[in-house]
Structure 1
Amino acid sequence: MLPTVILKGTLIKKSQQKRRTSPCNYKERFFVLDTQDLTYSEQRPGKKPSQKGCIELSRIKCVEIVCSEVPIPCSNKYPFQVVHDNCYLYIFAPDNDCRQRWVRALKEETKCNALLLKYHPNFWMEGRWRCCYQTEKMATGCQEYDPMGYASKKPLPPTPDPQRRLSDPGRRVVVALQNYSPHEDTDLPLHKDQEYILTDSSHHNWWTVQDHRGNSGFVPCMYIAEKSCDNFNRFEWYNKDITRGRAEGLLMTEGKEGAFMVRDSRHAGVYTVSVFTKAPGSNGQKNPRVKHYQIRQSEAEESKFYLAEKYLFSTIPELIQYHQHNAAGLITRLRHPVSQGRESSQSPAELSGQWEVDPAELTLGEEVGSGQFGLVLQGRWRERRVAVKMVRKGAMSEEDFKEEARVMTMLSHCKLVQLYGVCTQHSPMCLVFELMEQGCLSDYLRARRGRMSQDSLLGMCLDVSEGMAYLESNNFIHRDLAARNCLVSCNNVVKVSDFGMTRFVLDDQYTSSQGSKFPIKWSSPEVIKYCKFSSKSDVWSFGVFMWEVYTEGRLPYDNRSNLEVVEALNAGLRLLKPRQAPEAVHLLMEWCWKEKPDDRPSFALLLHELASLSDL
């Protein structure tokens, strides 16, 4: 009896990498589910389809959606899994309805099989399950598997009446200021810069919005802003009735670099940003003053707000949020909101007292290095060997120092050099770090040239990709990733260093001011051309870092000047494959060096691919 076809259609399949000798890939396949098998084929124009796989339904142990917060690197964003034998097949549907059809049909056909009692609701990535952190791929699942139920079948909150939605002339449009992943079934996910309809703003903290598909749910009100609205009272930076002179007085009294407020201008409906700066004047001396910037609107059909013409935003809160983390044309970033009649918010540069190191407890030893901001000395603190970075006078302001130190206190990962504390009560100020006994990786590689094993080289790349994936997940960018900025511990673990000189950037992008210096030979095309930094420019640098590792510390483009490197990159040329690099590793390097940032992998994906290679 011939099998009966139940479902068929084009989906995207993630490579199973049974041999794991090549980077992970995502390919379109034509899937057919019948009463005996699940098959998938490659469609070839003008030719007979080529079958790429066939799974007997009797071998399937679990079918369920994948719930994950990781970015999906293919066009289909709705993953589900088919577990058979000892394999996990990840399939990506174009929408949730399509995914549910396949999951339900497959569950129906396999409900009498010998099924798993528990399954993993998240991906296997980076050498572990993202849901329960178990490091064995065939480890027992962490969530009970219901062969009759559908984890994806969560009832949406009731949506407003369609007629009201279409005919209500007073509907309010809001824009998402940042992404939001639901914590409850009644929440709605937000995608930065997308528009939503606000249907209820009566709750103090949670508003109800509706997306373009009619799905409705709760979102934190601070994550959205009305597209056309002059009611900013809920934002601490807004001062409704305040004169220019009064604003200057408050900001001068605050006296902190980047203290700012938004106030009404003399013209109705127009707003001004007033910001305090100590930036040097024409004579090179510090010149405390308040600068005023009018918020303008573009003349395009979709009028947008801006302070600097290249940086346009749909809402004023979105504009302020961006410039709180990027100067981008202003004299300084908008760091400390100041409000009339309210206490100004705690400065982000304020450090918790637990981080302050008593100088009497710190013993300094010999110099072990130097950098842009000063010397690095060995030392002892509370019976612990440490590295002490002394900040050279004039290298950075006290406020900048405290802010950068605070950045580092927010980060803790086994593949980042750990900050123990700071000394701010005496000059020079200093940072106290864990001591990495074997020094910087570039020197370490050169000293052992010709004696490094393949496992050691791959392990170094794994260590750094793990640290960078953590920075990426926390919206940090490094901007100077290279072997010289990675350190080696006494047990040969490689950790990322100098990440504290980054900026915390909510939109994952930093545009440097003119004149900033960056290492050309490690820099991506968009950094060289536009001074545009992002996690994807860090990925480019990581490709060069891998090249350094597999050449055992050679300088990239060592026979070319910076100008010649720029010309070569513009011509599409890339570094050659290192002799010791396996083909799979070289493919990862080339993936990092794609011209367009969006074509490059994330660090999470790179870590996954490197971990797969290490399992060989």
Structure 2
Amino acid sequence: MFPRVILKGTMIKKSQQKRRTSPCNYKERFFVLDTQDLKYSERRPGKKPTLKGCIALSRIKCVEIVCSDVPIPCSYKYPFQVFHDNHYLYIFAPDNDCRQRWVKALKEETKFNNLVVKYHPNFWMDGRWKCCHQTEKLASGCNEYDPMGYASKGPLPQIPEPQEVDIHDPGQRVVVALRDYTPTGDNDLPLHKDQEYILTDTSHAEWWTVQDNMGWYNKDICRGEAEELLMREAKEGAFMVRDSRQAGVYTVSVFTKAPGSNGEKNPRVKHYQIRETNTEDFYLAEKYLFPTIPELIRYHQHNAAGLITRLRHPISQDRVWLRGSSKKKWEVSPTELSLGQEVGSGQFGLVLEGRWRDRKVAVKMVKAGAMSEEEFIEEARVMMSLSHCKLVQLYGVCTQVTQDCPLCLLFEFMDNGCLSDFLRDKRGRLSQVSMLGMCLDVSEGMAYLERNKFIHRDLAARNCLVSKNNEVKVSDFGMTRYVLDDQYTSSHGSKFPVKWSSPEVIKYSRFSSKSDVWSFGVFMWEVYSEGHLPYEHRSNGQVVESLNAGLRLLKPRSAPEPVHLLMERCWKEKPEDRPPFAVLLHELASLSDL
């Protein structure tokens, strides 16, 4: 009887360094978990996969996520560990959901093994455990292992007393980022998916302000300014970390109302220098040692441990925007923008390469008369409200029209350009894995639009862009509209691309997420035909006649039968018979072994 496959997918593994002289490296591998083994293979275009490792599930002693503040040196940032045969395998997933699925499945398959009693929640690095500082790699763990638990999060300091937490204080409310976010302005905060942030203001209709979990660090602030800010806040345990006068040294400043020598309340600010041992550990008033400053701060947020009070309320001199914006927040000055060569063109004008705040950007120029400034701002508002790793990100807009700089939009720059051109350039050299990956990327972006009740209306390979890492993202969705009933009917005969359009769009100009699904079927056909145009030798009128007769595009030679069946499901006559993008994403993911 063959083993049943449970999970499979691409992740990054760290070398296990079974010998002291083994190099430390990170390599992309295709992992397969079945009911007997955890296997990983190297996949190279045009070559048969090479099995690089196989771990019998019966030999696994522990599976857990890794909690660490150290920078992750590879592109996937969500590590978990598999302890087997006295070796640690560190695996890095692309997102937290993926990591949790793998940890949960592996725990389920190994829960009756001969497991460890305790495990190490942090990395083995530089000859010691980052969590407990033991220097023997096979030393007993420092945190109790729960084989039935769902990705537990490692040891925490002592929990603060409930009466000391004011749940009505907005500074105590915590929110979790749903996705990564790259800052577009000097005062913006980079967001990291699944990280907690302290919510400080929800009064505005379009944005929130937050502090991150290191909102306590104020780089350019002196002792007097720190005291002024903390005294103004006047909350017991309000604190910040700042640079000391001595280069490379940091100070913790904390506000307290603790009684003085006369027994009366004595509001004041105390300053503690963060000290470092010869072994590069950090501590404050008492020698409770920590390998990093964030870990030190996190501990003293729950334990005074020699300080006059525990660190309760992080204070920052700046607040940062969490979501939404205003026109002022979007606005880019023409003086900040330098324009380079033309890289493309679209319905509304040219697209140029540009530089903005030392960042490479794509600048979409809006030709005179293409749209009013009101329409332009509405497009920017729509696009700024969307943020997903598979959508091309809008950074800002420039509405200060000059002779050299008309209305324009600034987008993230996608080095490999338009997908339709990319497919034609790579014709004959694309693997099944690459083509399926392109469809997965776009289905993920479209599933996000579908969840947020946005319709694209012009999904095609020409409107998708390719990054330097060959990741495909959906673009040109700026003219989508928010629809409460998931349906938009054009009232003024808008133009649409007939060869990518569903019957209800052609007949009634009726757009919906289900008409986007039809277009996605044509997009998949473009990918698997390696950039050929659909209905290449037929006029629009002939295409309409064929669709009315129930005919559909033929199966591309490169498309596996299950992929072609998905295309045909996208091309069902009735919109309600077409699968939603969430289903398409799931079914494409299940085909990743083709």
- Give TM-score scaled by structure 1 length: 0.46
- Give TM-score scaled by structure 2 length: 0.47
